[in-house]
Chains A and B, each alone.
Chain A
Amino acid sequence: MPPMIRIQNLRKEYRDLVAVKNLNLELEPGDIFGFIGPNGAGKTTTIKMLATLLTPTYGTAYIDGVDVVRYPEAVRSIVGYMPDFFGVYDDIKVWEYLDFFAAAYRIPRAKRAQIIDDVLTLTDLNVKKEAYVESLSRGMKQRLCLAKTLVHDPKVLLLDEPASGLDPRARIEIKELLKELRSMGKTIIVSSHILPELADFCNKIGIIEKGELIISGDVNEIIRQVSGHHTLEIRILDENTPEPSQLSIETLASQTPQEGGVAVKTSAEMERAIALLRSQPGVDEVKRSDGKLLAHYVGEPNQEWRILKALIENDIRVLSFGTQATDLEDIFMRVTKGIVS
């Protein structure tokens, strides 16, 4: 299947400043690509070039096989674009606003009413159909903007910081809406510098810094690639912990030794566990955190079970044993600090 988005050596220069440096990327139909980077990294410039709103200094991009530089009109008919900062026409009604954009995308008058109803339902703005745009809240205006982005049923959505400046509830609403769009099979590029926002629904990510795409690809692949090592999270039953029959989450939590300035009581069993972990091949560092042991594992992949086996064979009462999850924030911090580059 040909890629839905193919970016080739895309470059944008503003006099001495290189905003985007020879960016290459391919996305398949249905991909949700999280474009991550700090402010000023080049996310918006890249998205604007894809949206035909900026001309690249060099290179080009193809959306559904159409060259964005040579055929901007054809690209606009298959792309929905939502800018990071946008205004709305306050003095018209919600349905009129959508009708204007539907007409601007050459949708025949006869079909517009149904399309408007559909996008209003999708964005949960039906009740505001007859309201003036100025009466909408910020979150509603954001959803309205997304609704107008969808009126021409684009195959590709370019969403630049779609949830910026929203309160937590509106943020969640937008996130749910994006999940809905994902289920509709749209290819989406969504930029954000708030990483948890993207973690839930992106299958691919790209991290851009100073105009350079440092890393991109499948989320899990990147996590594996960037992590290379991970942290084992082990909870053991020390002597201050009640017998298993008396255990509950509350009692476990209450038994957790205090840290951060207050002396931590370490039981003999805990000390033994720490010493044992430090002696294990592949473990280079062990520390305590919130009553758990965190062992930094740099050994062979899929051999972590040997550590669990060693603990049990040495009569350490293991309550839980697992790998600490690596999130996008962790990846971002590592990559942008130059660990990969």
Chain B
Amino acid sequence: MFDNPVFIKEIKSKYRARQSNLTLFAIGSLILLLIIWFYFEALRYLLFASPVITGKEGWAWSVVIQTMILWLVGPALASNAISQEREQQTWEMLTFTLLSPREIVLGKLAARSLPLLFVLLAFFPFMAVCLSLGDIPFHWLPVTYLVFGNCSLFILTLSLFMSWAAGKTATAIALSYLAVAYLVIGTLLIESVLPAMARGSESPNLWLNPIRITMALLEAPGNSYNTSVLLFSQTAFLVLTMLMLFTMLRRWDRWKRD
């Protein structure tokens, strides 16, 4: 990936700060201080209250916060990845190079996933502390991060797909957030009119809901039903991700016929 020119170019153009060293130092220090403060307060609470209860609480809070960040920030990160190239008229020159569609898509996807990766990494030590204090099985840490990773990949690919399919960035952003809104609200609405609801059980439609997935993550250890919810949702997201990637790469040249 570090040899992928698109990945390198994206990092340089998206994440390189152009401010003076002094300003950068000030901003960096501020972010660091915020993280330290968060950790200080959180650990003080965890260590001096009842550790088992607060460990679980801390774990739950961090899962909820990370889930919210993934689903709310994710679409904004990648939904301009391709449409912006078209808007700023660099697309033609990019596709004229010897770069394969795979390199372009994966380069952009990897570069756009970095902020989410940063968020997950920033929470990791806190999650680890919560895990050690709370009554949570150890294997649940990698499982939770696998779910986060899979959801992130799905959201970013979805946004990238919208950016590829839509002509304009504004449309791509709107479509990406509409898709997220469907998963959060639409699945609930559909569930309310499905016969399964009347029977008092859930349909697989609801298992794609990010809120339901988060609940499953928090309740799952030892609960086979919630494990099924997670398995189903993550498999569905993975299949959808692959389908979108496959469609993009397969129909990459569709604009040639325009």
Q: Please indicate the chain A residues that have their CB under 8 angstroms from the CB of B95 in the complex.
A: 53
A83 to B88 alpha-carbon distance, docked (Å): 13
Q: What 4 new A-B contacts, CB under 8 Å, besides A52-B96, A88-B90, A132-B18?
A: A53-B96, A85-B89, A105-B98, A106-B98
Give 6 nearest A-B pairs by CB, closest first: A104-B97, A87-B89, A103-B5, A87-B88, A91-B13, A100-B9
Interface 9-mer from A73-81, A249-257, A297-305 = A73-81
Contact with A along B65-104 (1 / 0, CB 8 A): 0000000000000000000000011101111111100000
Instruction: Assess whether A89 is interfacial by the CB under 8 Å rule.
Output: yes
Within B1-51, the residues touching A (CB, 8 Å) are 5-6, 8-9, 12-14, 16, 18
Instruction: Assess whether B256 is interfacial by the CB under 8 Å rule.
Output: yes
Give B contacts to A, CB under 8 Å: 5-6, 8-9, 12-14, 16, 18, 88-90, 92-99, 253, 256-258
Decide if B96 touches A77 in the complex (CB within 8 Å). no
Q: Please indicate the chain A residues that have their CB under 8 angstroms from the CB of B256 in the complex.
A: 53-55
**Which of A73, A83, A103, A145 has the most chain B CB atoms inside 10 A of its CB?**
A103
User: In whole Å, how far is B13's beta carbon from the nearest beta carbon of chain A?
Assistant: 4
Known: A92-B9, A92-B12, A100-B5. A86 touches B90 (CB 8 A): yes
Give A contacts to B, CB under 8 Å: 14, 51-55, 73, 76-77, 81, 83, 85-92, 96, 100-101, 103-106, 132, 145, 148
Decide if B96 touches A76 in the complex (CB within 8 Å). yes
Q: Output the nearest chain A residue to B253 by Cβ-Cβ distance.
A: A55
Decide if B9 touches A51 in the complex (CB within 8 Å). no
Decide if A89 touches B9 in the complex (CB within 8 Å). yes
A81 to B94 alpha-carbon distance, docked (Å): 11
Decide if B98 touches A86 in the complex (CB within 8 Å). no
Decide if A55 touches B257 in the complex (CB within 8 Å). yes
Choice from A14, A89, A91, A104 contacting B98 with Cβ under 8 Å: A104
Decide if A73 touches B98 in the complex (CB within 8 Å). yes
Choice from B14, B18, B98 contacting A76 with Cβ under 8 Å: B98
Q: Please indicate the chain A residues that have their CB under 8 angstroms from the CB of B6 in the complex.
A: 104
Q: Please indicate the chain B residues that have their CB under 8 angstroms from the CB of A91 in the complex.
A: 12-14, 16, 18
User: In whole Å, how far is A90's beta carbon from the nearest beta carbon of chain B?
Assistant: 8
Q: Output the nearest chain B residue to A48 by Cβ-Cβ distance.
A: B92
Q: Output the nearest chain A residue to B91 by Cβ-Cβ distance.
A: A87
Decide if A83 touches B9 in the complex (CB within 8 Å). no
A145 to B93 alpha-carbon distance, docked (Å): 9
16 example contacts (A-B, Cβ-Cβ < 8 A) are as follows: A53-B96, A54-B256, A54-B258, A55-B257, A76-B96, A76-B97, A85-B89, A89-B9, A89-B88, A89-B90, A90-B88, A91-B14, A92-B9, A96-B9, A132-B18, A145-B93
Decide if B5 touches A92 in the complex (CB within 8 Å). no
Q: Please indicate the chain B residues that have their CB under 8 angstroms from the CB of A55 in the complex.
A: 253, 256-257
Q: Please indicate the chain B residues that have their CB under 8 angstroms from the CB of A53 in the complex.
A: 92, 95-96, 256
Q: Please indicate the chain A residues that have their CB under 8 angstroms from the CB of B257 in the complex.
A: 55
User: In whole Å, how far is B150's beta carbon from the nearest beta carbon of chain A?
Assistant: 30
User: In whole Å, how far is B87's beta carbon from the nearest beta carbon of chain A?
Assistant: 8
A76 to B253 alpha-carbon distance, docked (Å): 15
Q: Please indicate the chain B residues that have their CB under 8 angstroms from the CB of A89 in the complex.
A: 9, 13, 88, 90
Q: Please indicate the chain A residues that have their CB under 8 angstroms from the CB of B92 in the complex.
A: 53, 83, 86
Q: Please indicate the chain A residues that have their CB under 8 angstroms from the CB of B12 in the complex.
A: 91-92, 96
Q: Output the nearest chain A residue to B89 by Cβ-Cβ distance.
A: A87
Q: Please indicate the chain A residues that have their CB under 8 angstroms from the CB of B96 in the complex.
A: 51-53, 76, 81
User: In whole Å, how far is B3's beta carbon from the nearest beta carbon of chain A?
Assistant: 8
Q: Please indicate the chain B residues that have their CB under 8 angstroms from the CB of A87 in the complex.
A: 88-90
A91 to B97 alpha-carbon distance, docked (Å): 20
**Which of B8, B9, B94 has the most chain A CB atoms inside 10 A of its CB?**
B9
A14 to B256 alpha-carbon distance, docked (Å): 12
User: In whole Å, how far is A59's beta carbon from the nearest beta carbon of chain B?
Assistant: 15
Known: A55-B257, A89-B13, A92-B9. A101 touches B97 (CB 8 A): yes
Q: Output the nearest chain B residue to A100 by Cβ-Cβ distance.
A: B9
Q: Please indicate the chain A residues that have their CB under 8 angstroms from the CB of B14 in the complex.
A: 91
A333 to B5 alpha-carbon distance, docked (Å): 47
A55 to B9 alpha-carbon distance, docked (Å): 29
A114 to B170 alpha-carbon distance, docked (Å): 41
Choice from B5, B18, B88 contacting A104 with Cβ under 8 Å: B5
Decide if A86 touches B89 in the complex (CB within 8 Å). yes
User: In whole Å, how far is B231's beta carbon from the nearest beta carbon of chain A?
Assistant: 40
Q: Please indicate the chain A residues that have their CB under 8 angstroms from the CB of B89 in the complex.
A: 83, 85-87
Q: Output the nearest chain B residue to A109 by Cβ-Cβ distance.
A: B3
User: In whole Å, how far is A117's beta carbon from the nearest beta carbon of chain B?
Assistant: 19
A33 to B131 alpha-carbon distance, docked (Å): 71
Q: Please indicate the chain B residues that have their CB under 8 angstroms from the CB of A73 in the complex.
A: 98
Decide if A105 touches B97 in the complex (CB within 8 Å). yes
